[in-house]
Chain A
Amino acid sequence: MKLLSTSALAGMLALGAAMAQAETVLNGLFMSQSAYSEADVRAMADAFTAAHPDIKLNLEFVPYEGLRDKTLLAQGSGSGYDVVLFDVIWPAEYATNGILLDVSDRITPEMKAGVLPGAWTTVEYQGKQYGMPWILDTKYLFYNKDMLAKAGIAAPPKTWAELNDQAKIIKDKGIVEFPIVWSWAQAEAVICDYTTLLSAYGGSFLDANGKPAFASGGGLQALEYMKATVDAGLTNPNSKEYLEEDVRRVFSNGEAAFALNWTYMFNLANAGDDSKVKGMIGVAPAPGVDGISKISAMNGSMGLGVTKTSKHPDEAWEFVAYMTSQPTQNAYAKLSLPIWASSYDDPAVTKGQEDMIAAARVSLAAMFPRPTTPKYNELSSLLQVAIQEALLGTNTPADALANAAAASGL
């Protein structure tokens, strides 16, 4: 009897294995975005399934705004995804809530050595890796070379104060009414711009004890700078309702001389079909502050991880490894720069975007993190409102930030 049941069990196992062999279905959650578009990601996935006919991929694409909620809710209901795309600000929360699998052991020494050192912070929480970095990004300063030449400006600004001076010249000469455009809508976008400035002014979000530290020093100076550019009429006042795509549209229409945005804007503004400023676009690391910083950058990267509830973690990891591999990333380097250090010396990658690569070399090494806390989302919401209150003039920068710090409960 025992023998019979054992053999039956073995048979069932074998059958199960055979079925798994025949078809493993992986569910993936991705983002509809501008860096790698949905079509690009599907093309990468098709190449993966061509090499792995036993794996079937079921990919879903949602806007950035829905990515986190969908991941959390799907895991909460138990019928989740195997592979999820996540933003650099979520690993703390995901790890705390047991959403992502710790993949530290799966990362090979070759991966470890080949990927840019700064990229790993995208997927780390308390010294463990919860995925692979995939979209490596930071905010750059884009500028319109023609407008700068018309204003008699030889080189893009090295400091934020210099950016103000140059913007003022451009405005005074009537080249464009509002020389600088930003993404300052009540969304994560404004935090990305604020983080860039905060890092330039040498500020920090949280102190060593995890208490808010942004309400004074560099954090306060960053917001005061933002407010001053609005008051001086140098910043496009509509920035307060803009997201990154709005910034790109304004900049591509030739309605701004400077813009802070992600990598993806370079090729779209400089060579895109809908751009009126083709061939005029320069890109540089975001400026620094005299005596404090040479440049500024923030970590706006995203990673791919395997969920804890996945029934096929091995296959899911294989897919993640493929998507983040150097050949895949090099093939799509015009849309998003690779995480692999040696790619930046590969002519196939650098050709046609030499300016972008030059800026990336400097900026990617200096990426400043947003606070690593499981309560990040709430802190970010409070900061978004504080920044907008200051920009609208309903509160002073100091009071607005102090209120946010007090309300954060940290």
Chain B
Amino acid sequence: MPTIPTTLRPWALMLPLLVVILGVVTWPLFRTVSLSLSDAGLVATSGNFVGPDNFVKNLGSRAFQAAFLNTAWFTLLSVGAELVLGVLVALLLNQEFRGRTLLRALMILPWALPTVVNAILWRLIYNPEYGALNSALLQLGVIDSYRSWLGQPQSAMLAMVVADVWKNFPIVALIGLAALQSVPRETHAAAIVDGAGAIARFRYVIWPYLAGPLMIALVLRTIEAFKVFDIIWVMTRGGPANSTRTLSILVYQEAFSFQRAGSGASLALIVTLFVMLLASGYVAIMRRSALRG
């Protein structure tokens, strides 16, 4: 049996995987980059080389800037709320009480729901004629008549954030709960004996264990929220008056609705660049916590 040199063996073993990665990642990426430098249409026209024109045009366009701000606002609000809510729920579910296991299982449900189902569900809740939210708020006396939550720019974006938070806080809570379980009971008990209050215990005993995993949750959720498409597409399609149009929706419209594949590809790459920046933050945190660990 001929022997393969030892340095080649790992490469030989990796070959199938490399071929797959080349096929499904590298080649499409290469195609996208070459598309983004052309004025190609979606069908029929393969396009001419136009250099960085698409990038210059898109970065300077009002549509892009508005979509970027919408995306950033959505990301900030939803990730912020998910972290706060996630940590609070994790702290609650870490307590000893009857029915805790059931509650932990129930908590995962929203996260397990497909995003499109979640979006349709919330669209019904927000319905201006018979939505549950209107009914509940009216009976509580918070509002004096039914509102069109998805019909006003400000409330439409907030409505989107609430729907996203409801779906995604469980994953933060889950990561938080796992972190909380690694807090040694003895340290916690010792802190109580030393007379530390709830806030002090959280700050000095729990937080050091929670911070690392929470950072990972933060970065993962930020990347996801930045790419948001489906929940918004189902609920408002970017309306009213483009007030909920995010970058992903803009990419879709440019490439598919308006058939400018070249320009759409350049927008997609810009979004990818932002996400890569966020991802490199994630890698840096991982490295730091690995070094510390």
A binds B: yes
Most chain B Cβ neighbours within 10 Å, of A72, A73, A96, A99: A72
Check if B259 sits within 8 Å of A186, measured CB to CB: no
- Measured CB to CB, the nearest residue on chain A to B61 is A407
Contact of B148 among A72, A73, A93, A241 (CB under 8 A): A241
In the complex, identify which listed stretch (A203-211, A318-326, A381-389) lies at the interface while the others stay far away. A381-389
Contact of B256 among A69, A237, A385 (CB under 8 A): A69
The answer to whether A392 and B242 touch (CB under 8 A), given A187-B237, A241-B148, is no
Q: Which residues of A contact B42 (CB under 8 A)?
A: 72-73, 76
Q: Which residues of A contact B257 (CB under 8 A)?
A: 69, 377-378, 381
The answer to whether A389 and B129 touch (CB under 8 A), given A69-B256, A241-B150, is no
- Measured CB to CB, the nearest residue on chain B to A379 is B258
A394 to B66, CA, bound (A): 15
The answer to whether A76 and B151 touch (CB under 8 A), given A238-B129, A388-B241, A392-B240, is no
Check if A392 sits within 8 Å of B241, measured CB to CB: yes
Check if A186 sits within 8 Å of B43, measured CB to CB: no
Asked if B47 CB lies within 8 Å of chain A CBs, one says no
Asked if B153 CB lies within 8 Å of chain A CBs, one says yes
Chief secondary structure at chain B's binding surface: loop
Check if B256 sits within 8 Å of A238, measured CB to CB: no
Asked if B253 CB lies within 8 Å of chain A CBs, one says yes
A76 to B152, CA, bound (A): 38
Interface string of A358-397 (1 = CB under 8 A from B): 0000000000000000010110010011001100101000
Interface string of B243-256 (1 = CB under 8 A from A): 00000000001001
Q: Which residues of B contact A255 (CB under 8 A)?
A: 129
Check if B151 sits within 8 Å of A241, measured CB to CB: yes
Check if B129 sits within 8 Å of A186, measured CB to CB: no
Asked if A97 CB lies within 8 Å of chain B CBs, one says yes
- Measured CB to CB, the nearest residue on chain A to B252 is A69
A187 to B256, CA, bound (A): 15
Q: Which residues of A contact B150 (CB under 8 A)?
A: 241
Check if B148 sits within 8 Å of A385, measured CB to CB: no
* In the complex, chain B residues 216-267 whose Cβ is within 8 Å of any chain A Cβ: 236-242, 253, 256-259
Q: Which residues of B contact A263 (CB under 8 A)?
A: none
A76 to B259, CA, bound (A): 11
Q: Chain A interface residue count: which class? A: 20 to 34
Q: Which residues of A contact B256 (CB under 8 A)?
A: 69, 72-73
Check if A186 sits within 8 Å of B128, measured CB to CB: no
A76 to B128, CA, bound (A): 40
Q: Which residues of B contact A377 (CB under 8 A)?
A: 257-259
A240 to B238, CA, bound (A): 13
Chief secondary structure at chain A's binding surface: helix
Asked if B25 CB lies within 8 Å of chain A CBs, one says no
The answer to whether A238 and B151 touch (CB under 8 A), given A72-B43, A186-B239, A250-B129, is yes
Asked if B140 CB lies within 8 Å of chain A CBs, one says no
Asked if A164 CB lies within 8 Å of chain B CBs, one says no
A186 to B238, CA, bound (A): 8
Asked if B291 CB lies within 8 Å of chain A CBs, one says no
Asked if B4 CB lies within 8 Å of chain A CBs, one says no
Asked if B105 CB lies within 8 Å of chain A CBs, one says no
A93 to B253, CA, bound (A): 16
Q: Which residues of B contact A378 (CB under 8 A)?
A: 257-258
Asked if B14 CB lies within 8 Å of chain A CBs, one says no
* In the complex, chain A residues 44-77 whose Cβ is within 8 Å of any chain B Cβ: 65, 69, 72-73, 75-76
A69 to B42, CA, bound (A): 10
Check if A72 sits within 8 Å of B128, measured CB to CB: no
Asked if B44 CB lies within 8 Å of chain A CBs, one says yes
Asked if A42 CB lies within 8 Å of chain B CBs, one says no
The answer to whether A389 and B241 touch (CB under 8 A), given A72-B42, A76-B42, A241-B128, is yes
Interface string of A81-120 (1 = CB under 8 A from B): 0000000000001001111000000000000000000000
* In the complex, chain A residues 232-280 whose Cβ is within 8 Å of any chain B Cβ: 237-238, 240-241, 249-250, 253, 255
Q: Which residues of A contact B152 (CB under 8 A)?
A: 392
Q: Which residues of B contact A73 (CB under 8 A)?
A: 42, 256
Check if B241 sits within 8 Å of A186, measured CB to CB: yes
Q: Which residues of A contact B239 (CB under 8 A)?
A: 185-187, 241, 384-385, 388
- Measured CB to CB, the nearest residue on chain B to A387 is B241
A185 to B238, CA, bound (A): 10
The answer to whether A240 and B129 touch (CB under 8 A), given A69-B257, A99-B43, is no
Chain B nearest CB from A396 CB (Å) reads 13
Q: Which residues of A contact B259 (CB under 8 A)?
A: 72, 93, 97, 377
* In the complex, chain B residues 179-234 whose Cβ is within 8 Å of any chain A Cβ: none
A97 to B152, CA, bound (A): 37
Chain A nearest CB from B129 CB (Å) reads 6
The answer to whether A249 and B129 touch (CB under 8 A), given A76-B42, A388-B241, A394-B153, is yes
Given contacts A237-B148, A392-B152, 7 further A-B contacts (CB under 8 A): A72-B259, A93-B259, A186-B236, A240-B151, A388-B240, A392-B153, A392-B240
- Residues on B close to A: CB < 8 A? 41-44, 128-129, 148, 150-153, 236-242, 253, 256-259
- Give 27 CB contacts A-B under 8 Å: A72-B43, A72-B256, A73-B42, A93-B259, A97-B43, A97-B259, A185-B240, A187-B237, A237-B151, A238-B129, A240-B148, A240-B151, A240-B240, A241-B148, A241-B151, A241-B236, A249-B129, A250-B129, A378-B257, A378-B258, A381-B257, A385-B241, A388-B239, A388-B241, A388-B242, A389-B241, A392-B152
